[in-house]
Chain A
């Protein structure tokens, strides 16, 4: 099974709201990723967790706060977002090690900031 699940599928939030995106995988992968994707552009890496520790933060604004509670779960906490943060947010997972491995993506959360 190569399934990564994400909830919710769609989210509309105001600029003063606090919300969270959730991601789950049961493939035993120890690397998990958050990406942001704007229309007609490729996914843009935001954060990488390896063995539940944050290993890469691509200079993402602090209004995005990632969390990895355990090896299967990944959250992205959102606070005081801007309209330009509206995008498709993708979670992915892969094996972890001293190499590069295929990442399996979830279906994404479509976020609209009003």
Chain B
């Protein structure tokens, strides 16, 4: 069974305090690793896709990296508006179609 595990469950940071979120995943059959941001009561917002170990992508204060077993979302000098739940998802392809397997998410709170 495909598994994606995120840690920590919750993270509180002070504004400007950099940190990283972790996502580990089942390697077999993985076709892509996806990061989303979700604000309360809204749909997930796509952030990054990573396909190969060693790949890195950046957007503003966020940088996503991928190794053979896990992915990290690095947040540099966060601001209160970065507060949200960050979801990691493994993309797996089957003959019936493509699916995303989500982790439980990391709830990030950035205090001013």
Interface range on chain B: under 10, 10 to 19, 20 to 34, or 35 or more?
Answer: 20 to 34
- Contacting pair B46 A31 (CB below 8 A): no
Known: A100-B92, A103-B46, A105-B44. A45 touches B97 (CB 8 A): no
Give the residue name and chain of the B residue nearest to A49 (CB).
Answer: B97
Known: A107-B43, A108-B42, A108-B43. A43 touches B97 (CB 8 A): no
By CB atoms of chain B within 10 A, which of A41, A99, A110 has the most? A99
Q: How many A-B residue pairs have CB under 8 A?
A: 70
Which residues from A are CB-within-8-Å of B34? Answer: 102-103
Complex interface residues of chain B between 14 and 38 (CB less than 8 A to chain A): 31-32, 34, 36
CA A99 – CA B49 in complex, angstroms? 13
CA A71 – CA B102 in complex, angstroms? 25
**Cβ-based interface call for A11 (8 A):** no
Interface range on chain A: under 10, 10 to 19, 20 to 34, or 35 or more?
Answer: 20 to 34
- Contacting pair B103 A42 (CB below 8 A): yes
Known: A42-B102, A88-B41. A102 touches B46 (CB 8 A): yes
- Contacting pair B99 A56 (CB below 8 A): yes
CA A105 – CA B43 in complex, angstroms? 6
Give the residue name and chain of the A residue nearest to B44 (CB).
Answer: A105
Give the residue name and chain of the B residue nearest to A106 (CB).
Answer: B43
- Contacting pair B32 A99 (CB below 8 A): yes
Given pairs A99-B31, A100-B98, 11 additional interface contacts (CB within 8 A): A31-B98, A48-B99, A50-B97, A56-B96, A56-B97, A98-B93, A99-B93, A100-B100, A101-B91, A105-B43, A110-B41
Q: List 27 A-B contacts (CB under 8 A).
A: A31-B97, A41-B104, A42-B87, A42-B104, A48-B96, A48-B97, A55-B97, A56-B96, A56-B99, A88-B41, A98-B93, A99-B31, A99-B91, A99-B98, A100-B31, A100-B91, A100-B98, A101-B32, A101-B49, A101-B91, A102-B46, A102-B49, A105-B44, A105-B45, A107-B43, A108-B42, A110-B41
